[in-house]
Amino acid sequence: MQSFSAITVLAVSLLVATPGKHTMVHTTSPQKEKGWISLFDGKTTKGWHSFGKKSTGEAWKVADGAIYLDAAGKAQAKEGGDIVSDQEFENFHLKLDWKISKNGNSGVIFWVQDDPAKYEYVWYTGPEMQVLDNDGHPDGKINKHRAANLYDLIAGKEGAVKPVGEWNTAEIISNKGKLEFILNGVTTVSTTYGDDNWKQLIANSKFKTKADFGKYFKGHIALQDHGNDVWFRNIVIKEL
């Protein structure tokens, strides 16, 4: 009995331990033990705000454990816009599920500098993991613009994305000069950043005129409003 009690006490201690400096935690106990924190509680938009503002636009809603952009609501003069995490991250492993509407387009943008006085949009500074209906949206016909591509920089490995309307599990790993995208367990992009190769990728892209694009390696996570219905859930992150 003494041995069993000791194990029980240890297990309870692991479950209630405070996971570092972050307070908004809604992950399961195995995730806590591994250092994961939640960026979305599944019920509210707490922890997120529209770019350059203090709250999220009304077109961003929460239902069935997902945060989603209501494109029809936005069309009815309700505010949308890209939303960004309250917290900034540098070396991290981000995981989330996304689902896109038919013919839809969105993205997960990272290293975002939330400074509207200097930058008009999140993509002026932050690179993007593309979220797309490859078969229905025109961008699906453009190399480097397809789902799980490093948007306009690197074309990703094909065959990982699920049919439109189904949930996809995406991962972005940014760690000390190495960047990796994973979609549904398949590594779609693996590259370096901050080096000459990274600078050349930018120089050959549509972002070449944005002076600070891809130059900051710490910033906010953003979910893109591209005017189409899109859903995100199970958004968790681990600092590396």
Residue 6 has pLDDT above 60, yes or no: no
- Is residue 58 a part of any domain in this protein? yes
Provide the β-strand partners of residue 131.
106
The residue segments making up the domain with residue 155 are: 39-239
**188 or 26: which carries more pLDDT confidence?**
188
Q: What is the mean pLDDT of the chain?
A: 89
Query: Which residues lie below 8 Å from residue 28, measured CB to CB, with a gap of 6+?
Result: none
Residue 161 has pLDDT above 90, yes or no: yes
Domain count, the chain: 1
- Is residue 221 a part of any domain in this protein? yes
- Of 5-19, 130-144, 197-211, the poorest mean pLDDT is in 5-19
- Is residue 147 a part of any domain in this protein? yes
Task: Give Cα separations from 213 to 25, 119, 125, 182, 194 (angstroms).
Answer: 31, 10, 4, 22, 11
Residue 214 has pLDDT above 70, yes or no: yes
pLDDT category, 223, cuts 50, 70, 90?
very high
pTM recorded for the entire structure:
0.85
What integer pLDDT is reported at residue 29 of this predicted model?
47
- Is residue 215 a part of any domain in this protein? yes
Per-residue pLDDT tens digits for 29-53: 455 558 999 999 999 999 999 999 9
Residue 196 to residue 230: CA distance in whole angstroms: 35
DSSP secondary structure string for all residues of 165-230: TS-EEEEEEEETTEEEEEETTEEEEEEE-SSHHHHHHHHTSGGGG-TTTTT-SSEEEEE---SS-E
73, containing H or E segment: helix 71-75
Per-residue pLDDT tens digits for 72-117: 878 775 788 999 999 999 999 999 999 999 999 999 999 999 999 9
Q: What percent of the chain has pLDDT over 90?
A: 81
List the CATH number of the domain containing 212. Answer: 2.60.120.560
The burial class, CB within 10 Å (0-12 / 13-18 / 19+), for 45 is: middle
The burial class, CB within 10 Å (0-12 / 13-18 / 19+), for 74 is: buried
- Is residue 24 a part of any domain in this protein? no
- Is residue 30 a part of any domain in this protein? no
- Is residue 8 a part of any domain in this protein? no
Task: Give Cα separations from 163 to 99, 136, 183, 219, 238 (angstroms).
Answer: 9, 11, 13, 31, 28
Per-residue pLDDT tens digits for 181-208: 999 999 999 999 999 999 999 999 999 9
pLDDT category, 11, cuts 50, 70, 90?
very low
What integer pLDDT is reported at residue 18 of this predicted model?
38
What integer pLDDT is reported at residue 34 of this predicted model?
81
Per-residue pLDDT tens digits for 92-104: 999 999 999 999 9
Provide the β-strand partners of residue 130.
107
